[in-house]
Amino acid sequence: MLKFPVDAREVEFNAIRAQGAGGQNVNKVSSAVHLRFDIVASSLPDAIKERLLALSDSRITQEGVLVLKAQQHRTQEMNRADALARLQQVIDGVSNPPKSRRATKPTFGSRQRRLQSKSQRSDTKALRGRVDKE
Protein backbone atom coordinates (compact mmCIF):
# COMPACT_ATOMS: atom_id res chain seq x y z
CA MET A 1 0.00 0.00 0.00
CA LEU A 2 1.37 3.38 -0.98
CA LYS A 3 1.78 5.98 1.74
CA PHE A 4 1.42 9.68 1.08
CA PRO A 5 2.18 11.52 4.33
CA VAL A 6 0.25 14.69 5.00
CA ASP A 7 2.29 17.88 5.11
CA ALA A 8 1.52 19.63 8.40
CA ARG A 9 1.69 23.04 6.68
CA GLU A 10 -1.34 22.12 4.55
CA VAL A 11 -3.53 21.41 7.59
CA GLU A 12 -5.39 24.10 9.52
CA PHE A 13 -6.46 23.51 13.11
CA ASN A 14 -9.13 25.41 15.05
CA ALA A 15 -9.63 24.77 18.75
CA ILE A 16 -13.28 24.57 19.84
CA ARG A 17 -15.13 23.50 22.93
CA ALA A 18 -16.01 19.82 23.05
CA GLN A 19 -19.58 18.58 23.35
CA GLY A 20 -20.99 16.09 25.78
CA ALA A 21 -20.06 15.00 29.27
CA GLY A 22 -16.93 16.21 30.98
CA GLY A 23 -17.98 18.27 33.96
CA GLN A 24 -16.66 21.79 34.34
CA ASN A 25 -13.69 21.03 32.13
CA VAL A 26 -15.87 20.85 29.03
CA ASN A 27 -17.23 24.33 29.71
CA LYS A 28 -13.89 26.00 30.33
CA VAL A 29 -11.35 24.41 28.00
CA SER A 30 -11.29 24.37 24.19
CA SER A 31 -9.92 20.87 23.85
CA ALA A 32 -11.76 19.71 20.72
CA VAL A 33 -10.16 20.35 17.33
CA HIS A 34 -11.51 21.11 13.87
CA LEU A 35 -9.06 20.01 11.20
CA ARG A 36 -9.45 21.59 7.76
CA PHE A 37 -7.55 20.11 4.80
CA ASP A 38 -7.89 21.75 1.38
CA ILE A 39 -7.74 18.82 -1.02
CA VAL A 40 -7.45 20.89 -4.20
CA ALA A 41 -4.56 23.05 -2.91
CA SER A 42 -2.68 20.13 -1.32
CA SER A 43 0.55 18.58 -2.57
CA LEU A 44 -1.05 15.16 -3.05
CA PRO A 45 -0.86 13.52 -6.50
CA ASP A 46 -3.72 14.43 -8.84
CA ALA A 47 -5.07 10.87 -8.94
CA ILE A 48 -5.50 10.81 -5.16
CA LYS A 49 -7.08 14.27 -5.18
CA GLU A 50 -9.65 13.07 -7.73
CA ARG A 51 -10.48 9.97 -5.71
CA LEU A 52 -10.80 12.02 -2.50
CA LEU A 53 -13.12 14.52 -4.17
CA ALA A 54 -15.16 11.67 -5.68
CA LEU A 55 -15.89 10.21 -2.22
CA SER A 56 -19.49 10.60 -1.10
CA ASP A 57 -18.39 11.78 2.32
CA SER A 58 -20.35 14.43 4.20
CA ARG A 59 -17.09 15.71 5.72
CA ILE A 60 -15.94 17.04 2.33
CA THR A 61 -17.40 20.45 1.47
CA GLN A 62 -18.37 21.59 -2.01
CA GLU A 63 -15.18 23.67 -2.14
CA GLY A 64 -13.13 20.49 -1.68
CA VAL A 65 -12.17 20.99 1.96
CA LEU A 66 -12.12 17.96 4.26
CA VAL A 67 -13.30 18.90 7.77
CA LEU A 68 -12.68 16.52 10.66
CA LYS A 69 -13.76 17.09 14.25
CA ALA A 70 -11.78 15.38 16.99
CA GLN A 71 -13.07 15.48 20.57
CA GLN A 72 -12.35 11.99 21.90
CA HIS A 73 -9.53 12.98 24.22
CA ARG A 74 -9.22 15.36 27.12
CA THR A 75 -6.28 17.36 25.77
CA GLN A 76 -6.02 19.42 22.64
CA GLU A 77 -2.69 17.82 21.68
CA MET A 78 -4.16 14.32 21.72
CA ASN A 79 -7.16 15.48 19.70
CA ARG A 80 -4.80 17.05 17.14
CA ALA A 81 -2.91 13.76 16.83
CA ASP A 82 -6.20 11.86 16.53
CA ALA A 83 -7.44 14.20 13.78
CA LEU A 84 -4.16 13.87 11.85
CA ALA A 85 -4.30 10.08 12.16
CA ARG A 86 -7.88 10.04 10.87
CA LEU A 87 -6.91 12.31 7.96
CA GLN A 88 -4.07 9.95 7.12
CA GLN A 89 -6.54 7.02 7.23
CA VAL A 90 -8.82 8.74 4.73
CA ILE A 91 -5.92 9.46 2.38
CA ASP A 92 -4.53 5.92 2.73
CA GLY A 93 -7.98 4.56 1.94
CA VAL A 94 -7.95 6.12 -1.52
CA SER A 95 -4.21 5.89 -2.21
CA ASN A 96 -4.48 2.57 -4.05
CA PRO A 97 -6.66 2.65 -7.15
CA PRO A 98 -9.68 0.34 -6.99
CA LYS A 99 -9.27 -2.96 -8.78
CA SER A 100 -11.27 -3.24 -11.97
CA ARG A 101 -13.89 -5.97 -11.93
CA ARG A 102 -13.41 -8.89 -14.27
CA ALA A 103 -16.68 -10.30 -15.50
CA THR A 104 -17.07 -14.02 -14.83
CA LYS A 105 -19.74 -16.57 -15.68
CA PRO A 106 -21.50 -18.66 -13.07
CA THR A 107 -20.18 -22.21 -12.86
CA PHE A 108 -22.19 -25.18 -14.11
CA GLY A 109 -22.60 -26.46 -10.55
CA SER A 110 -23.91 -23.13 -9.25
CA ARG A 111 -26.46 -22.99 -12.07
CA GLN A 112 -27.59 -26.54 -11.25
CA ARG A 113 -27.93 -25.74 -7.53
CA ARG A 114 -29.93 -22.61 -8.33
CA LEU A 115 -32.35 -24.51 -10.57
CA GLN A 116 -32.67 -27.31 -8.00
CA SER A 117 -33.58 -24.85 -5.23
CA LYS A 118 -36.10 -23.16 -7.53
CA SER A 119 -37.81 -26.46 -8.31
CA GLN A 120 -37.86 -27.40 -4.60
CA ARG A 121 -39.51 -24.08 -3.78
CA SER A 122 -42.00 -24.63 -6.61
CA ASP A 123 -42.90 -28.08 -5.26
CA THR A 124 -43.37 -26.64 -1.76
CA LYS A 125 -45.73 -23.99 -3.04
CA ALA A 126 -47.64 -26.47 -5.22
CA LEU A 127 -48.57 -28.43 -2.08
CA ARG A 128 -50.32 -25.35 -0.66
CA GLY A 129 -53.28 -25.65 -3.05
CA ARG A 130 -56.78 -26.92 -2.27
CA VAL A 131 -57.18 -30.56 -1.27
CA ASP A 132 -59.68 -32.64 -3.29
CA LYS A 133 -62.05 -34.99 -1.35
CA GLU A 134 -61.59 -38.04 -3.57
The β-bridge partners of 35 are: 13, 68
Q: Is residue 126 part of a domain?
A: no
Q: How confident is the model at residue 1 (pLDDT cuts 50, 70, 90)?
A: low
Give the phi and the psi of residue 14 in degrees, each rounded to 5: -130, 130
Q: Assess whether pLDDT exceeds 60 at residue 103.
A: yes
pLDDT in tens, 33-67: 999 999 888 888 898 899 889 888 888 889 989 99
- Give me the number of domains the chain comprises: 1
Q: Is residue 122 part of a domain?
A: no
Query: In Å, how far from its chain's centre is CA 48?
Result: 15
Q: Is residue 116 part of a domain?
A: no
Q: Is residue 114 part of a domain?
A: no
Query: In this structure, what CATH number is given to the domain that contains residue 26?
Result: 3.30.160.20
Instruction: Tell if the pTM clears 0.75, that is, is over it.
Output: no
DSSP class of residue 41 equals: T
Range(s) of the domain holding residue 65:
8-95
Q: Is residue 79 part of a domain?
A: yes
pLDDT in tens, 110-128: 999 999 999 999 999 998 9
What is residue 54's three-state secondary structure? helix
Q: Which of 96, 91, 97, 90 is nearest to 4 (CA)?
A: 91
